[in-house]
A and B are shown apart, each in its own frame.
Chain A
């Protein structure tokens, strides 16, 4: 039940529709059950990471670019280039 409440609050929180009353309930819940704080933090972190499209797109782009650059040359056997870049 506690986790279900937390999830419900999280849904409202992430959509920016949590009421003042529910926010107070949430704070009380987290205070009363400190073990839920970690779960709450993870929800928040997950939300931040997954909803940040710009960062996720940039990460995918960079990973592809590195693979591409790396495949063009076997860097493990080469000396560093342009160390003064």
Chain B
């Protein structure tokens, strides 16, 4: 696919649903420079831009689960607007003065459900970040329990623990540590309100 070829919104949504890397990469190549330029001009860095773009794609991924969902704007406008709004929120949280209001098109894109998904994604990202801060054993037990849906008996076998009861205790402690880490992060309170 040519880089300059315009991707219709329905094709983009199909690409998201089917994890089509060709389509998604093409959209990323168009959006990443826009997002990076915007973030660099507004007190952020390259990593912030990449994180924002990932969050925006996650919002579209959640929206695309609804087969009736459609995008009535250019794909790059849609994705960039989500990034722009996410960045505005982050700047406000970091107590920076934000620079400017959103245009009418941008306001139209940011419907209540999109805003709610953005908040949900920010909270999910916070949990994911904190999971990575846990020790390997805690990460593994949470992975086996939640992602792989293993029973405590199975977890005890996989991790060579003395009993399912002990696996249950370890999982409880891992979860407790995770919740403590999330609660300690100042973003937790901000994302709650």
Q: A residues bordering B, Cβ < 8 Å?
A: 7, 11, 39, 42-43, 45-47, 49-51, 53, 55-56, 58-59, 61-63, 65-70, 75-76, 78-85
Contacts and interface: CB of A to CB of B under 8 A. Distances in A.
A67 B146 CA distance: 27
Given A45-B127, A58-B61, A70-B46, A50 B142 contact: yes
B118 interface: no
B45 to A, nearest CB: 9
B58 A82 contact: no
Interface in B120-166: 123-124, 127-128, 131, 142, 146-147, 149
13 contacts: A45-B123, A45-B127, A46-B179, A49-B124, A49-B127, A56-B128, A59-B54, A62-B58, A65-B21, A65-B24, A80-B33, A82-B29, A85-B74
Interface stretch (B1-9, B84-92, B93-101, B102-110): B1-9
B28 A79 contact: no
B114 interface: no
Contacts of A61: 19
Given A50-B131, A66-B50, 7 more contacts: A49-B127, A55-B62, A62-B57, A79-B33, A81-B30, A85-B6, A85-B76
B92 to A, nearest CB: 23
A69 B54 CA distance: 12
Secondary structure at the B interface, as helix, strand, loop or mixed, is helix
The listed residue with most A CB atoms (<10 A of its CB), out of B25, B26, B28, B33, is B33
B146 A51 contact: yes
A83 B81 CA distance: 13
A69 B147 contact: no
B53 interface: yes
B170 to A, nearest CB: 13
B46 A75 contact: yes
A80 to B, nearest CB: 4
Contact of A51 (B30, B37, B147, B175): B147
Given A80-B33, A85-B76, A49 B7 contact: no
Contact of B28 (A11, A69, A83): A69
B128 to A, nearest CB: 7
Interface string B173-193: 001001100110000000000
The listed residue with most B CB atoms (<10 A of its CB), out of A51, A67, A82, is A82
B116 interface: no
Nearest to A82: B30
Interface string B22-40: 0011111111111011001
